[in-house]
Amino acid sequence: MSKVRERGALSGGALVIIVVLVVVLLVGLVGVGSYNGLVTRKERVASTWSQIDNQYKRRNDLVPNLVATVQGAANFEKSTLTEVTEARASVSRVQLPKEVPTDEKQLAAYIAAQQGLGAALGRLMVVAEKYPELKATQNFRDLQVQLEGTENRIAVARTDYIEAVRDYNTAIEKIPGSFVAGFGAMKPAAQLTIPEGERAVPKVDFGGANK
């Protein structure tokens, strides 16, 4: 009887060990799956942020050539050119790291500066409508088309970033993502605070395609 009890105790202990190992394995699999999912989401946030940053830089690079071209028009409004130049300078004073931004105030300041530049460029294009000789130059028309394309790509990239950040931040707030994110030192990404009406990816058209 004692040997039977010993064998029963041994088999019971082995069963407990097996159950524990299975539980540990399952927890490990869930943890690995959750971690990989968070990494994928974070990479998507980084990719969409890179697109925003690249398009803003592309627009910024267009400004000097645009200003130089517009200055060639007789009696062009200097206040409009000054506004564009100052807006571009404001953008250069607000820099963000190349990595995914995590400071929402810093991101908001950066986006506000970029929107200020976009608004100044829009007003410049409106003023340019008064100068047929300027609109007739090939260089101005080329810049107009490039600027339109860049503005539209910025709008698309911003929408993609908002969606990617929402997905990533939601994932690290839920279990098991919250535990895995803490273990992996993954911080929430800063979200863009753009009014809902501006997220519809508007088609920017300064009239370059029709004139």
Please state, in angstroms and as integers, the Cα–Cα distance from residue 50 to each residue in 56, 157, 158, 202, following that order.
10, 9, 10, 20
104: buried, middle or exposed (CB in 10 Å: 19+, 13-18, 0-12)? middle
- Token pair belonging to 190: 């800063």
Residue ranges of the chain with pLDDT lower than 50? 4, 199-202, 209-211
Q: Would the pTM count as exceeding 0.85?
A: no
Per-residue model confidence (pLDDT) at position 147: 93
Predicted pLDDT of residue 211 = 42
Q: What is the pLDDT of residue 210?
A: 47
pLDDT of residue 89: 93
Answer whether 146's CB lies under 8 Å from 106's CB: no
Which tokens belong to 150?
């860049």
Give Cβ neighbours of residue 54 (< 8 Å, ≥ 6 apart).
Answer: none
- Say how many C-beta atoms besides its own lie within 10 A of residue 45's C-beta: 24
Q: Is 2-198 CATH 1.25.60.10?
A: no
Tokens matching residue 192: 């863009």
pLDDT tens digits, 145-168: 999 999 999 999 999 999 999 999
Question: Between the CA of residue 16 and those of 2, 24, 77, 117, 174, what are the distances in Å?
Answer: 21, 12, 84, 67, 30
Q: What is the pLDDT of residue 202?
A: 47
What pLDDT score was predicted for residue 124?
Answer: 92
Q: What per-residue confidence (pLDDT) applies to 87?
A: 94
What was the pLDDT predicted at 129? 87
Joined together, the tokens standing for residue 97 give: 């790291």
